[in-house]
Every structure is written in structure tokens, then in C-alpha cells.
Structure 1
Amino acid sequence: MIDLLDLDYDELEAFISKELKGPKFRVKQIWQWLWQKGVSDIDGMSNIAKGLRESLKSKAFLKHPDVDVVQTSKDGTIKLLLRLADGALVETVLIPMEGRYTQCLSTQVGCAMACTFCSTGLMGFERNMTMSEILGQVLVGRAYLQEKGLNPLKNLVFMGMGEPLLNLDVLIKSLQTLNNTDGLSFVPRRITVSSVGFVKQLEVLGASELTLPAISLHAPNQELREKIMPKAAQTDLQDLLSAMDRYPLKPRERVTYEYLLLGGVNDSIDHAKQLVRLLGHRKCKVNLIAYNPGEDLLYEAPDPAQVLAFEKYLWDKDITATIRRSMGQDIKAACGQLKATRKDS
């Protein structure tokens, strides 16, 4: 049986024409049902002839991830714990931002990177997600917002569970499907892919012109990065930065470097000075994130005054820096924290 949500447009066209002997004009209609209208049942495709629907059901299936748990924060952040067809659990988060929502997407069940500050990393890696599962998060998230009469979904960030570039082929296919104007229709500037950084994969991602990158840096030198991100740091920091210097950007675009401030670990002014030496001459901006402690992790949240001082130092040295507002702390909105509490995961 074929999972319809795993087919890109060309694959769907080949399936309809060759396997089902359906007319070509039906392909666009079915595609729109899948992605624009977000139908969750083949019988819901009301303008598709019954005979073709029956043929579809005989050779293919359509299934969205099941919503296992919904948690809503007092700040409006919504966390969905989704159960996939094999019972695996993944998280996606809907974040309210000035009249719209941004959705944080997962690309793997678990993560192999084992970053010491990350709940998902401490779980270990289970498997890669399929396009159906990755984009199924978008379909479920969008439907939830519509059902509740909330603001629309406008932006996507691949910053959830897993390392996107270690599921590169499926990521690229998902981005191409997201960009399709007859489907979900997310333009590249509204999609961000966050990665710890792999040089060859970043070259492929840049050549695709499908998204903007955000690099999880989190340390201003190779030695500290090796301590807090031992597997990610196998890519030498200077090699990673050189790769990002080559990343194709439009004139007003910049590379985003994410820097998680860990209390007493990487949040001093000396660390800020090292970061300036590292990034000061580069076309970039820095997204500062105050660590949100979970259970059984090694670090503490940074002092708020220290966060502000760190940001000010970067600005004083002409580096654009923003502090990401911490959202959903009361519902364990950081990646992996909700799944980690589920005994049946």
C-alpha cells in the first residue's frame, strides 16, 4: 500500500496515471485535497469520481498522525505529542507570534547527536521520519489552529526532535512539497532549517534554495563545543563557519547562529568576546536562547542580567543579536521534554 503523503507531485502523477489509469487533471485535484484542504480520508475528496476513490483506497492510504496529548501554555504556546503509525511519539509546537503561528517540526524520532543540554539527545536515536510524518505535523497543526479559531500558521522551523541534515533526502523532498504553490505553499523565506552543521549536507541544502539555515553553535570555541556537543563538534568549527560563509544568500539575507546560554558554562562576557572574534566579520545574526531546564539535565538557566549583558556586548560590537523569548516553560515546550515524561514512549 502506498502512503499518499509520501509522494511528491511527480510521484503522485506517475501513480495516478500508471497504477490507477486515472486522467492527468485528477492529479492536481487530489494533490490539493491532500495538501491545501488537508483532507484526512480518501472518501472526503468529494469531487473525485467514486470509482477512482475506490481504486485509490485499494492501492493507497491516507493517514495523519494521531494527537496523543495537547498542552497549552499560559502564553499561548501549544504543544502536540503525536503518535505515528508504528506507535512512535514525536513532538511539534505551535508558537504564537504577532497575529500568526510558527510551527516547530521534528524530523527524527529521537536524535543521535547526544548534545548534553537536550532532552531529545539524551533519549538516543530511534529512526528517521518519512515525509508523510514530517509534513503530517503541519497538516495536524494547521487543522488544530483552524478548529480552535486561532491565528493562521505562517512560518515553519525545523528545530524539533532530531537533526534535519541527517535525514537529508527526506528533508529536501519535504521542502519541495512545502514550496508547491498548489499545496501548502510555504515560500523559502518562511522556512528555517536548524542544524548543528554538516559541511557536505549544508552544501546540498544551499544548492536547493529551498530554505534559510540556522546553525546551532552554542559555544564560541572548538574546545567548549566538544564538551557540550561532542558529536556535533566532530565537524571542526572553522570548517563549519567556512561552509556557512559559502552558503548562497540573497542580498538581504544572513546566516543565523543560535547560541544557547547555559548558566555558568558559556554565558560570560569573556565568552561573548570570543563569539565576537568568531563572527564579527561574517554576514550573520545571533539568536540568543536562555536555557530552559528540564529534568535530569546537567545545566542551570542563566541569570537574566547576564543574558542582557551578553546581548548588549554583541550589539556594542556591531553584531545583530536577539534574545528568543522563552515560550511554553509551564508545559515543557523544549524539545523532548513532554515525550520524556511519557512512560509509554
Structure 2
Amino acid sequence: MGMGEPLLNFDAVLPALRLMRADLGFGLASRRVTVSTAGLVPGIAKLRESVDVALAVSLHAPVNEVRTEIVPLNRKYPIAELMQACRDYLAGQKKRSITFEYTLLDGVNDSDQHARDLVKLLRTVPSKLNLIPFNPFPGTSYRCSSARRIERFQQLVRDGGIIATVRKTRGDDIDAACGQLAGDFRDRTRRREKRKAEGAKA
């Protein structure tokens, strides 16, 4: 998993995907290659027309009000438009599904009602749900949901008929888990710049 929005760098991403899929390249099956997007709707359509790979969508909330706070791109491509793009992506493809990523934030998107709303939403497209415990980084006001809340959320979604797994967090003990690297880099950069400024004043 890389960083950034791959569908905003389509001209570079597409040759890499084709190399991964090509028999004279890595020869990977389409289901072994996944492109993850925050929900760039035109890019999803372009991807479908260009190469056969799996799709993952960073959803993080089942309603627009909450998702816009977490994923600002939602202002331009709201949930209904995104879900239609997902249905179009799977059109004519049997036994395929889209993986939806959902980072659980304490008191933000982890309530029982959020779980029920999520079930209703994901029933509209063949789906798998990947629940992700939030990894904090310097300066954030968000907190990870408790283990009990994560378990409860997962069970509610499963009871609604959606396949849901919880991603195992690795690297959080050294601030190198998913979502932490950029924050750590920015934090170290600010400290370095502060030291330079203090040195210049001295």
C-alpha cells in the first residue's frame, strides 16, 4: 500500500499496473492487484476501461456529513455518486467485489447507527469491508475506537450480511503504521526547522 491518490497520477500508475499483469512482467492475476482510491469517480471509470484489477475504496463513513469531514474529496464526489461508480466498475463481472476501507474513529464514525447505515449502503454493491483501527499521529485530534467498540461494530456489520475483517495493526509501536509516516515526517521537519531558526537567532 502506497501513499497518495493513485488515480490522480493515472499516466504513471497505468503502465505499472499493466506490467504487474503482463505475462512477460510479473504475471499477477487481476484479483492479486488492487488499486486503492479515496473516491475519485472519473478515475474509477477510467481505470475500468483501461486495465482489469481489483478496486479498494477508502469510505470511512456511511453518510456525507461525516465522510466530508474525514475525506474532503467527498464534497466533489458524494457517497451516492461514488457508490454508483463502484456498481459500474463491477458491471458484467461475476464473483467480483469491491473492498471498502473504514478507519474507526472514536465518537466520529463508530456508533451502532453508523454500522447500520453502512450495512444499508454496502448492500447496494458486492462488498467486503476492511475495518482499520486508527493509528494516531502528531497533531491529530482523532482517537482510535476501543477494542470493544471495534468488535461491536464488526459484529453489527456481519449480522447485516457484510463480510467484515479487522486489519491487524503493525508498526504502531515505532510510529510506522498505516497513516503515521507522513505525520511523523512533518513533525520531524517542523522540529528541524525550529532548531535552525533558534540557531540563527543565537
How far apart in 2 are the matches of 1:229 and 1:172?
24
1:304 matched residue in structure 2: 147
**Which aligned pairs between 1:118-137 and structure 2 lie closer than 5 A?**
none
In structure 2, the residue matched to 1:190 is 32
* Post-superposition offset of 1:210: 3.0
Structure 2 residue 200 is matched with structure 1 residue 333:
no
Counterpart Cα distance in 2 of 1:217 and 1:184: 30
Cα gap change, 1:248 to 1:316, in 2 (>3 Å): closer
Describe the shift of the 1:245–1:263 C-alpha distance in structure 2 as closer, same or farther (beyond 3 A).
Answer: same
Structure with the bigger percentage of strand: 1
- For each residue in 1:20-57, what CA deviation from the matched residue of structure 2 results, as whole angstroms up to 9, or x when unmatched? xxxxxxxxxxxxxxxxxxxxxxxxxxxxxxxxxxxxxx
Q: Quick check: which one's helix share is greater? A: 2
Match of 1:226 in 2: 68
2:7 is aligned with 1:165:
yes
User: TM-score by structure 2 length?
Assistant: 0.85
Give the whole-Å Cα distance in 2 for the aligned partners of 1:295 and 1:248.
38
1:281–1:183: structure 2 CA closer, same or farther, 3 Å change rule? closer
Determine the structure 2 residue equivalent to 1:319: 162
In structure 2, the residue corresponding to 1:340 is in which secondary structure?
helix
Which amino acid in the other structure matches residue 231 of structure 1? L
Structure 1: gaps spanning 5 or more residues:
1-103, 105-159
Once residues 119 and 177 of structure 2 are traced to their aligned partners in structure 1, the CA distance between those partners, rounded to angstroms, is 30
1:262 to 105, 109, 127: 105
- Given candidates 46, 50, 62, the residue that maps to 1:208 is 50
Aligned residues: 187
> Quick one: distance in 2 between partners of 1:251 and 1:310?
29
CA distance in 2, matches of 1:175, 1:325: 26
Deviation at 1:341, TM superposition (A): 4.7
- Aligned-residue CA RMSD (Å): 1.9
Q: What residue identity is the alignment partner of 1:328?
A: G
- Do residues 295 (structure 1) and 138 (structure 2) align? yes
Equivalences for 1:175-186 in 2 at 5 Å? 175-186=17-28
Who wins on radius of gyration, i.e. which is larger? 1
Separation in structure 1 between the aligned mates of residue 73 and residue 161 of structure 2, nearest angstrom = 31
- 8 Å CA contact 2:20–2:33 kept in 1: the answer is no
1:230 is displaced (CA, Å) by: 1.9
Q: Distance in 1 between matches of 2:139 and 2:188?
A: 15
Task: Provide TM-score, normalisation by structure 1.
Answer: 0.51
Q: Letter of the 2:157 partner, please give it.
A: L
Letter in 1 for 2:85: A
Gaps of 5+ in 2: 194-202
Distance 1:251 1:279 in 2: 17
Looking at structure 2, the residues matched to 334 and 169 of structure 1 have their Cα atoms a distance apart, in angstroms, of 25
Are the counterparts in 1 of residues 171 and 177 from structure 2 also a CA contact under 8 Å?
A: yes
Structure 1: 4+ residue segments shifted above 6 A: none
Deviation at 1:208, TM superposition (A): 2.4
Distance 1:277 1:182 in 2: 43
What displacement does 1:168 show?
A: 1.1
Q: Offset of 1:179 from its aligned partner?
A: 1.7
Aligned-partner residue type, residue 183 of structure 1: G
